[in-house]
Amino acid sequence: MNCAWEIKPRQLCATRGDQYNLNMAVFDEKHEELDHHETMMGVPRGRLAVTMDMITDAMALVGQHGVFCQSQRWPGKPVMDIQIVMKNLTGAKELIQSVMEELRAKPPHSADSAAG
């Protein structure tokens, strides 16, 4: 059975530094956004910023779905599964924001400071 949704294993690139897992689809799909944010914020914070954008987009789509899938028990509220998904996406965004703040607070490590 050939299904378009079938998950196919990917060979992971296990090289050092910034090259880790660059053959994953997200690096191809979000190449321009990643380049922009990584240049502006550095690699870790740039990737987290793109992740935040992706989660925000997912939240918007789930929110739109919630408008049409209203709870019969609580009119005006989305069904319970949509409420749970939104809660988890919101929590994920909060965790990513906290990591971004931690990274901003710590100075980047340079080769010169590590050698001294």
- Rounded to an integer, what distance in angstroms lies between the CA atom of residue 57 and that of residue 74? 26
At 77, list the tokens.
């509220």
Q: Which regions of the chain are under pLDDT 50?
A: 1-16, 111-116
Instruction: Quote the pLDDT of residue 74.
Output: 87
For residue 11, give the nearest of 31, 29, 25 by alpha carbon. 25
Instruction: Quote the pLDDT of residue 3.
Output: 34
Instruction: Quote the pLDDT of residue 76.
Output: 87
Residue 46: how many other CB atoms lie within 10 Å:
19
Beta bridge partners of 78: 70
Dump pLDDT digits (tens) for 63-94.
Answer: 999 888 888 898 889 999 999 999 999 999 99
Assess contact for 103 and 110: CB atoms under 8 A. no
For residue 48, give the nearest of 95, 85, 12, 86 by alpha carbon. 95
Helix-strand-coil split of the chain, %, nearest 5: 65, 0, 35
pTM: 0.69
Instruction: Quote the pLDDT of residue 20.
Output: 56
Instruction: Quote the pLDDT of residue 108.
Output: 64
Instruction: Quote the pLDDT of residue 82.
Output: 94
